[in-house]
Amino acid sequence: MAHVGAPWAQRLGLALLLLALLVTPPFLPPYLLTLLTQTLIYAILAMSLDLTLGYTGLASLGHAAYLGLGAYSVGILATRWGAGFWMALLVGIALATAVAAVFGLVALRATGVYFLMITLALGMVVWGLANRWVSLTRGDNGISPVPRPVLGLPWSFGRALPFYYLALVGFVLALVVLRVIVRSPFGATLIGIRESESRMRTLGYHVWLHKYLAFVISGAVGGFAGVLWAYYNGFVTPSDLDLSVSIEVLLMVALGGRGTLLGPALGAGVIVLLKNLVSVYTQRWLLILGLVYVGTIRYAPEGIAGALMQWRRWMQRARAA
Amino acid sequence: MEFWVTQLFNGVSYGALLFLLAGGLSLIFGMMRIVNMTHGSHYLLGAYLALTFLTRTGSYVLALLGGALAIAVLGVIEWDRFLQGLRGQELAQVLTTMGLALIFQDLALVTWGGDPYNLKIPAVLSGKYHLGTFFFPVYRVFIIVVALGVAVVLWLVVERTRVGAMMRATVDDAEMARGVGINVSGISLGVFALGAALAAVAGVVAGGFLGIYPGADFEILSYAFVVVIVGGLGSLRGALIGSLLVGLLDNFGKALFPELSYFTLFAPMAAILAVRPTGLFGRA
């Protein structure tokens, strides 16, 4: 799953996308703006999962746990101790990283279906705590209201537009960090592990350590998404880290195209828009979401990015003929 | 003393229900390595269908059998149309079955609405047994009996029949089994249908005391996964012991440490997996 277009075309596309994300929001209707903010945050989560799922070949069924850890860190720190943005950000990411570091030790003992099941189980541990450790998390009621962050800047993040730009900064940061990682020798090794673990082992690479680091980084970035999510939503509930969220993130990555970073971000956009817009027009949005799940695997198993690549190949062949 | 006996009994009867549910899931997992998110849907749809059959026919037995049979047919269609081609692709399996589960959830909502129902249990099964100072609801005893019956039949089939030997061969090495002339896809289809039917039976039985309501499908699904993970994929013995363990942990967890009740369920599971990634009785 290499690049969708030629390097220059890809770079141009990325530049145009970022430009559009930068320039258009002030002209968008408020509802669309909040959906776009939501998209950016979910895009960070989807890209973080892409590091493990797309690049390393590890399908995790518990990724929402890291979103939850980041979000609950903010919820608890901001409402109980009045902690500021930087403190909450630091703790949120640190907690997600630490938990991923422990979970990785357990989960990476398994592969394939067993890896799926262990990550599911570990995700449920966190979900269970969020649900029942009422004195800390307030259980089902969740934590609210989480105040919007104050950064000492001239803009109030209580308003939708400045907060959108905050999310955009977060998105670009996550994109840059993950892009640097996947294009580094470390990232190349991850791809090698995805393609053939035994070959990489034979070549002398420390396969387990690479997988472990990818798992922990993925968790850390997931925690970052959770921090923004809590501030965006203004409340944190156990449903933020439900099993269905973990699966939805998997869908975002699969729909966009595994191992492309921007593909999963696009997948996040499609799902967020679909979920919110479809439910405006019809009660049957669960049905439609279900059809998207089934249809993605049936008709676009390599996702949107894969479909684009195929289209490009067709065009080339047509030109050659 | 009374507390312990009551909780023990409740834990065991809940474990029995979980076995009905997880036995089939474990076989499906073990044999086809399929992550089946629709297992909870089979449970819930089975219960809903039984509810309809019960109001139409008035017979509990017909409702139970009808629900199980209908869901077995649904399982056959699912396997044939969607899952057969996804062998070895875990992500595709998770997403496809999740999609199907969402579709089923919505269709159930359209058909039966959002109100919770209770499946009316026959008079024979209501009431309580008195044993000294203890009371045991007949219905919960009935669940334990059904689960034991299913366990014995499954065990006999798997361990003592020719079909069972083929099933075990398929679990151990599907390729080799195909090589020696076993109809692996036929066996897989049968097991998937059986697993679906068992889930439906669990749903019907649970409809009598846990109720039938939207969302029960995913609620019970995580429990079924826990049982299968702890017991080991594809192991009936593992499913049985896992069910008891989870039933008891869940009950005592909720009674003794309500604040940590899910934690007391999932954390031991994670601990078991840390030591044995393939579960208690699973083989890699």
Euclidean distance between CA atoms A101 and A213, whole angstroms: 8
Residues A244-260: tens digit of each pLDDT:
899 999 999 999 888 88
Say if residues B2 and B133 touch (Cβ distance below 8 Å). yes
Q: How far is CA A86 from CA A178, A234, B104, in A?
A: 21, 17, 44
Minimal Cβ distance to A116: which of B86, B90, B107? B90
HSE, side-chain direction, 13 A CA sphere, residue A283: 7
* Three-class secondary structure of residue A160 per DSSP: helix
Residue of B nearest to A297 (CA): B92
Bridge-partner residues for B212, per DSSP? B117
Q: Write out the DSSP string of B73-106.
A: HHHHHHIIIIIGGGTT-HHHHHHHHHHHHHHHHH
Q: Which of A129, A248, A294 to mutate to test the interface with B (most CBs of B within 10 A)?
A: A294
Cβ within 8 Å of residue A61, ≥6 positions away:
A116, A117, A119, A120, A123, A243, A246, A247, A250, B94
How much is the pLDDT for B159? 85
Structure tokens that stand for A26 in this block: 């002030």
Minimal Cβ distance to B102: which of A243, A289, A301? A289
Task: Give the confidence band of B87 by pLDDT, cuts at 50, 70, 90.
Answer: confident
How much is the pLDDT for A2? 47
B228 touches chain A (CB under 8 A): yes
Cβ within 8 Å of residue A156, ≥6 positions away:
A148, A162
Q: Which residues of A touch B267 (CB under 8 A)?
A: 125
A113 and B29 within 8 Å at the Cβ level: the answer is: yes
Euclidean distance between CA atoms B278 and A195, whole angstroms: 24
Euclidean distance between CA atoms B98 and B76, whole angstroms: 17
Euclidean distance between CA atoms B6 and A123, whole angstroms: 31
pLDDT at B113 over 80: yes
Cβ within 8 Å of residue A272, ≥6 positions away:
A35, A38, A39, A42
* Three-class secondary structure of residue A82 per DSSP: coil
Task: Give the confidence band of B133 by pLDDT, cuts at 50, 70, 90.
Answer: confident
Cβ within 8 Å of residue A212, ≥6 positions away:
A104, A105, A108
Residue of B nearest to A112 (CA): B90
Q: Which residues of A touch B105 (CB under 8 A)?
A: 286, 290
Q: Which residues of A touch B228 (CB under 8 A)?
A: 117
A133 and B263 within 8 Å at the Cβ level: the answer is: yes
Euclidean distance between CA atoms A223 and B194, whole angstroms: 41
Mean pLDDT by 10 residues, chain A (321 residues): 60 84 85 92 96 90 94 90 86 95 89 84 87 80 81 75 90 94 90 88 89 95 95 90 90 89 91 86 86 87 82 83 71
The verdict on residue A256 lying in a domain is: no
What is the nearest CA distance from B217 to chain A, expressed in angstroms?
12
What is the nearest CA distance from B124 to chain A, expressed in angstroms?
37
How much is the pLDDT for A6? 60
Q: Which residues of B touch A254 (CB under 8 A)?
A: 91, 95
Bridge-partner residues for B129, per DSSP? B136
Which H helix or E strand runs over A230?
helix A207-233
* Three-class secondary structure of residue B136 per DSSP: strand
Residue of A nearest to B107 (CA): A287
B229 and A120 within 8 Å at the Cβ level: the answer is: yes
Minimal Cβ distance to A120: which of B103, B225, B284? B225
Q: Which residues of B touch A106 (CB under 8 A)?
A: 270, 273-274
Task: Give residue limits of the domains in chain B.
Answer: 13-215
Euclidean distance between CA atoms B205 and B202, whole angstroms: 5
Q: Which residues of B touch A99 (CB under 8 A)?
A: none
Tell how strand B128-131 and strand B134-137 pair up: antiparallel
Instruction: Tally Cβ neighbours within 10 Å of residue A126.
Output: 24
B218 and A244 within 8 Å at the Cβ level: the answer is: yes
Say if residues A243 and B94 touch (Cβ distance below 8 Å). no
A294 and B103 within 8 Å at the Cβ level: the answer is: yes
Task: Give the confidence band of B24 by pLDDT, cuts at 50, 70, 90.
Answer: confident
Q: What are residue A91's phi and psi, to 5 degrees?
A: -65, -40
Structure tokens that stand for A5 in this block: 């277009």
Q: How far is CA A174 from CA A110, A171, B66, in A?
A: 28, 5, 53
Where is average pLDDT lowest: A55-59, A85-89, B182-186, B279-283?
Answer: B279-283
What is the rounded average pLDDT for all residues in chain B? 86
ipTM for the predicted complex comes to 0.83
pLDDT at B284 over 70: no
Angle in degrees, CA A125, A127, A133, rounded to 5: 90
Q: Which residues of B touch A118 (CB under 8 A)?
A: 229, 270, 273, 277
The verdict on residue A305 lying in a domain is: no
A286 and B103 within 8 Å at the Cβ level: the answer is: yes
What is the nearest CA distance from A69 to chain B, expressed in angstroms?
15
Cβ within 8 Å of residue B10, ≥6 positions away:
B140, B251
Tell me the residue range of the domain where A146 lies: 31-247
Q: Which residues of A touch B284 (CB under 8 A)?
A: 114
Residue of B nearest to A110 (CA): B277
User: Chain A to chain B, count of Cβ pairs less than 8 Å apart?
Assistant: 142
The verdict on residue A197 lying in a domain is: yes
B103 touches chain A (CB under 8 A): yes
A301 and B92 within 8 Å at the Cβ level: the answer is: yes
Residues B150-173: tens digit of each pLDDT:
999 988 988 899 988 888 888 778
Chain Cα centroid distance, residue B284? 22
Residue reference for tokens 């399908």: A59
B229 touches chain A (CB under 8 A): yes
How much is the pLDDT for A5? 55
Minimal Cβ distance to A125: which of B103, B258, B266? B266
Q: Which residues of B touch A122 (CB under 8 A)?
A: 270
Residues B45-86: tens digit of each pLDDT:
999 999 999 999 988 899 999 999 999 999 999 998 988 888
